[in-house]
Structure formats: structure tokens, C-alpha cells
Amino acid sequence: MFKGSNKTYLLALLVPLALFPLVAFASGDGAYFRYILGKVVPALDESERIKAAVTEFNNRFMDIYASQGNKRGIGAVPATVGMRHHLVTDAGALWVGGQVLVYDIASLEVRRVQQDGPLSATVLVKEEWNYQYKDGKSYKDVGQVHGTGSLLRYRLLQQGGKWLVQKCEPVRESDNGVKKGV
């Protein structure tokens, strides 16, 4: 089909094109290729990893409050440094006031995962929580168990190959869909 010079020319063109994705992955641009290829190859879609990061964030969220804002273990929370600081500060402020807020997640329903770009994603989650204030020293109940439910929008970033929660904000549902929250 090809004569010697055409075959050599085609081979010289195809080899770099074939190696380009491998070089990109090795150089740290893999997220960009994974994002593009994920639209065509479902196995490369990041949705499950993104959902897992939100679920893990909520599990660690409970631990941070129950530990009275103790910083031990905060590095395991899949969140940006700013979000981790926010969690510890809030939980620690309650402890300074002599109380502990005990959160227990009753249900977490991921409604939508949208990868906005190679390094960013938005997740819409319906959450149900039970919570109760306890005395910080004796751990005795200060109040009754209460329940709350809300629709939340999580903004995630990919850093170092991991999905991290950057922001969490409440949203409102309407008949037409989701409105921006308060």
C-alpha cells in the first residue's frame, strides 16, 4: 500500500502522536487528558472518585466536630487547606464555649456530579443530619437530638491527583430546578 518513503513519513508522524498522551501523563497533565477522554471512554470518568471525596468529607466532618476541633487527623480530610481551617475553627469555637456538637449523617444522596473542567467539579447533594449538643467535659446531653435536611452544592478541586472539597454552600430547590443558595 505504501512505498518506503511514504511509510517512513507516516511512521514518523504517528509515533509522536501515539506517545503524546504518555508524555502528558508523565508530566502531570494527565488530568487534562483524563477529562477529555472521560467524555468518550466511560471508564475514565471521574464521577465515582468525586462522589467518594464528598462522602469521605462528610464522614470526617462528623469526626472533627466530635473531637472538639482537635487538629489530629485533619490531614485526612479530603478538603483544601482553607476548608480544613474552617472546620477546625468552627468546632473549636464550640469547645471554647464548653460544648461539643455531635453530628450523625442519616442519609446522603448525590443528585448530580458535574466535572466542570479537568481540575474542578460541582456536586449537588441532599443530606439529612441528626445533631445534638453535649457538655464538653462530661459529654452529657445538653439538649435534645434534632434533625435537619438540606440541599448542598459542593465545589471540588483536584490537587495532587486527589479531589478536595473547596467550598460547600446551601442551595434552594424550585420547580424549575436548583436556585443559587443563601
β partners of residue 141: 134
Whether the Cβ atoms of residue 123 and residue 116 lie closer than 8 Å to each other: no
Q: Mean pLDDT lowest for which of 38-47, 56-65, 82-91? A: 38-47
Residue 84 in 3-state DSSP?
A: helix
Q: How many angstroms separate the Cα of 173 from the Cα of each of 9, 70, 147?
A: 58, 35, 19
DSSP-derived secondary structure for 45-109: --HHHHHHHHHHHHHHHHHHHHTTT--TTGGGSSB-HHHHHHHHHHHHHHHHTTEEEEEEEEEEE
Among the listed ranges 10-19, 80-89, 120-129, 158-167, which one has the minimum average pLDDT value? 10-19
What pLDDT sits at residue 181?
46
* Phi, psi at 114, each rounded to 5°: -130, 115
Quote the Cα angle for 137-133-66, to 5°.
65
pLDDT over 90 at 80, yes or no: yes
Contact (Cβ atoms closer than 8 angstroms) between residue 175 and residue 146: no
Residue 32, exposed/middle/buried by CB under 10 A (0-12, 13-18, 19+)?
middle
DSSP 3-state percent helix, strand, coil across the chain (nearest 5): 40, 35, 25
Sign for the pseudo-dihedral over CA of 101, 104, 108, 114: positive
Higher-pLDDT residue of 182 and 1 is: 1
DSSP 71: -
Q: Name which residue leads in pLDDT, 110 or 34.
A: 110
* pTM summary value: 0.73
- Asked if residue 6 has pLDDT above 80, the reply is no
C-alpha cell at 28: 502531570
Backbone angles phi, psi at 107, to 5 degrees: -160, 150
130, three cell numbers = 441528626
